[in-house]
A = this chain, B = another copy of it.
Amino acid sequence: MDEITFAVLGTGGIGRRALEVSQHKDALTPVAACDRHGVAVDFDGLDVDELLAATEGNIDSEVATDGGTGAATAESGVKQHGEDRGVVASSQARPSEDAIQEIIDRGDRIDAVLLALPNYEHDFIPRTADRFVEGGYSGVMIDVLKRSRVIGMLDERSDAFEDAGVTFICGAGATPGLLTGAAALAAQSFVEVTDVDIWWGVGLKSGYEDNRGTVREDIAHLPEYDIETARGLSESEIEAIIDDHDGVIEFEDMEHADDVLLERAGVCDADDVTVGGVLDVRNDEKPTTTTVRVTGRTFDGETATNTFQLGDETSMEANVNGPALGYLKAGVRRNRAGEYGVFGPADLLPGF
């Protein structure tokens, strides 16, 4: 495939890891990265090592030396709270009053935009997409969101995306994303899928401190919280919740977009999809093996279960960012072929 230029909106855990993983991928050139406070743009390709070291390096090492609990360093990370907070800590970046607009203004040279913004309000990503459309953008936009209801908001914009020439890929991280794709592929043995059971285990290798957004997003899935109340939690309140659970939080029957994404791809009804998992904030090791089980009926009348399991040694970061960039490349291919609108990960796999 020809060279692909991409921008990352958000330089938290996911955005930074996406930049890092992209260095291992063929034909991907990161040309812009921004957060709420600044923007870095270089069409010859960002110096990812410098950007990561400047915005993340010292926090990584602090977590490593205190055993990964993150608690001791909660308010001390330079990237979130220092004077040069966020991406501006990089020598390639500069402060901006409206960093996203600066990316939009350069959209004609950017093939794809990865929205790495897990913990904003529900309509933040749809509204950001609106801004890109209004700004004349006509490439790929991709998110790694987990929430079912956001897909509906994006679907409402489907005509606008088609008119603009935007190919929007939603839910393209680990779950949904890699695991939704695995479920769609596993479903090919069957003429009717009766159950998809997704069970994930995440051990936060790099600790809470380096995964604030992700942990906050996960807490929003607990029965007592939603995305708005979770967003309102202070750092110390989040740590208190983590303490209450001894660092290990189990989720059952989550609102997780795998269901609507599998339904829209024609794999099964959303009601047939169950998602749960276990998050261990304090240990590298996964507390349970991430497993997708797809049960269905074959054309010759048998009932069986196909299974996909991730190796326990693969980190959440590896399973989010490899697939996200894979789907990004698939999206660019679709976009260049003139296919616009909203796509889930399973829509990018062979059809059913």
Contact = CB atoms under 8 A, between A and B. Distances in A.
B339 A351 contact: no
- The winner among A20, A304, A307, A351 for most chain B CB atoms within 10 A is A351
Contacts of A298: 313-315, 318
Chain A interface size band reads 35 or more
Contacts of A351: 1, 326, 329-330, 333
A292 B312 CA distance: 16
Interface string A150-187: 00000000000000000000000000001001100110
Copies of this chain assembled into the complex: 2
Contacts of A312: 304
A330 B339 CA distance: 13
B322 A190 contact: yes
A351 B2 CA distance: 12
B21 A318 contact: no
A305 interface: yes
Interface in A294-352: 295, 298-300, 302-315, 317-319, 321-323, 326-327, 329-330, 333-334, 337-339, 345, 348-352
A205 interface: yes
B303 A318 contact: no
B338 A350 contact: no
Nearest to A300: B315
Contacts of A317: 299-300
A338 B337 CA distance: 7
A317 B192 CA distance: 15
A278 to B, nearest CB: 18
- The winner among A188, A266, A300 for most chain B CB atoms within 10 A is A188
B302 A306 contact: no
A283 to B, nearest CB: 14
Given A26-B352, A309-B307, A351-B329, A188 B302 contact: no
A159 to B, nearest CB: 18
Contacts of A211: none
Given A21-B191, A305-B311, A310-B189, A300 B318 contact: yes
Given A189-B314, A306-B311, 16 more contacts: A20-B299, A26-B266, A178-B189, A182-B308, A185-B349, A189-B319, A299-B321, A300-B318, A302-B313, A302-B318, A303-B313, A308-B308, A337-B337, A337-B338, A337-B339, A349-B349
